[in-house]
């Protein structure tokens, strides 16, 4: 029996995370141009003026999509890292994010009508990206070689996106830059609604995959001895990760490395927690990271808006790398 659903006491850190999330959500609603005072929020919600439009039609859907995207990416990172037993197994190094973004970019640049866009082309691109990585790593020795090959595949797929950007007309180039760098610009409730079907399928599948992931983290031999078909289970987890990533890349573009940072933060905050608790923690930290990055992106250099994906990548690589190194040093000291 795995420890996926084992009950554990909720630590004080969970309350701090909840308070931080509420404060950050409030800041995302009131800060910007124009600034809406906290005391004016009820009137802005009930009214019909400029503040009402800014709050309900611009900032609220952007906040919701940012939180959902971060939560999904955090959960995806956990699934990949635990099932592949590598803390660097993230969508950005397995061809998943780049494949999804490249597929959407091609459909936009060439005006290809695709049903259920952008979810369907993003999902197909994510599957193609990870399939190319899997085919390329056959015979590779060690996780470092696998991730290096995956990074190469990702770079090749990003080149496809850049080529699509080069041939696109001026009207579509802004949209393609969004898929290249990651952005929540132009988010509406329609954008949130377009991501909903994918989320309704992918998130329950991710939850159902947690027991298999808990066994895969023990190693293929141990998982097989416990009755799990390790190869098929790992393929299924990769498929769920592709669908989860597609639901984010479709509306937001490539918001990078959140799936690397969120599991590091969750593991550091709740050491020894069960996999289900860690999954919830990864989702919460991922949401906080993306919402905070988007708030900075649209306010720091206003009216210039920074790419959210660039901010998350910079913070995640530096902070997540430092946490990973500290964790390994601590484990080495315990031996």
Q: What percentage of the chain's residues is helix, strand, coil (to nearest 5)?
A: 75, 0, 25
More confident residue, 332 or 124: 124
> Does 222 have pLDDT greater than 70?
yes
Looking at 48-57, 70-79, 167-176, 281-290, which range is the least confident one? 167-176
For the chain, domains (ranges, CATH) are: 19-327 (1.10.3470.10)
11, two tokens: 């630590």
pLDDT greater than 90 at residue 93? no
Q: What CA dihedral angle connects 279, 281, 287 and 292, to 10 degrees?
A: -150
Q: Mean pLDDT, to the nearest integer, of 259-270? A: 91
pLDDT band at 178 (very low <50, low <70, confident <90, very high): confident
Residues 298-317: what's their mean pLDDT? 89
More confident residue, 69 or 235: 69
Average pLDDT over residues 331-335: 63
* H helices present in 94-219, as ranges: 96-109, 119-136, 143-167, 170-181, 189-216
Alpha carbons 205 and 208: distance in angstroms, whole number: 5
Tell me the average pLDDT across 12-25.
89
pLDDT value, residue 1: 45
Average pLDDT, the chain: 87
CA distance 234 to 212: 8
- Region 88-111: what's the mean pLDDT? 89
């Amino acid at each position: 029996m795995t420890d996926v659903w084992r009950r554990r006491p909720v630590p004080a850190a969970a309350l701090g995370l909840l308070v931080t999330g509420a404060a950050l959500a409030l800041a995302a609603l009131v800060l910007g141009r124009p600034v809406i005072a906290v005391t004016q929020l009820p009137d802005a919600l009930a009214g019909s003026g400029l503040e009402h439009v800014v709050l309900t039609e611009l900032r609220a859907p952007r906040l919701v999509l940012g939180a959902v995207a971060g939560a999904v990416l955090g959960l995806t990172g956990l699934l990949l890292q635990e099932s592949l037993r590598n803390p660097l197994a993230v969508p950005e190094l397995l061809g998943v994010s780049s494949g999804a973004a490249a597929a959407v970019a091609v459909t936009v640049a060439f005006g290809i009508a695709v049903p259920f866009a952008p979810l369907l082309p993003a999902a197909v691109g994510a599957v193609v990206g990870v399939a190319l990585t899997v085919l390329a790593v056959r015979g590779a020795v060690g996780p470092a070689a696998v991730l290096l090959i995956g990074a190469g595949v990702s770079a090749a797929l990003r080149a496809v996106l850049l080529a699509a950007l080069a041939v696109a007309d001026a009207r579509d180039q802004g949209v393609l830059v969004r898929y290249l760098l990651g952005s929540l610009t132009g988010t509406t409730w329609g954008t949130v609604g377009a991501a909903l079907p994918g989320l309704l399928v992918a998130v329950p599948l991710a939850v159902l995959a947690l027991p298999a992931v808990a066994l895969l983290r023990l190693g293929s031999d141990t998982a097989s001895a416990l009755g799990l078909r390790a190869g098929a289970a790992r393929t299924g987890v990769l498929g769920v990760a592709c669908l989860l990533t597609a639901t984010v890349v479709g509306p937001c573009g490539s918001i990078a490395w959140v799936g690397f940072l969120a599991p590091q933060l969750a593991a550091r905050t709740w050491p020894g927690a069960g996999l289900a608790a860690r999954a919830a923690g990864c989702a919460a930290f991922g949401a906080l990271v993306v919402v905070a990055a988007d708030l900075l992106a649209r306010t720091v250099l206003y009216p210039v808006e920074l790419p959210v994906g660039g901010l998350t990548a910079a913070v995640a690589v530096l902070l997540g790398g430092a946490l990973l190194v500290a964790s390994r040093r601590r484990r080495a000291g315990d031996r």
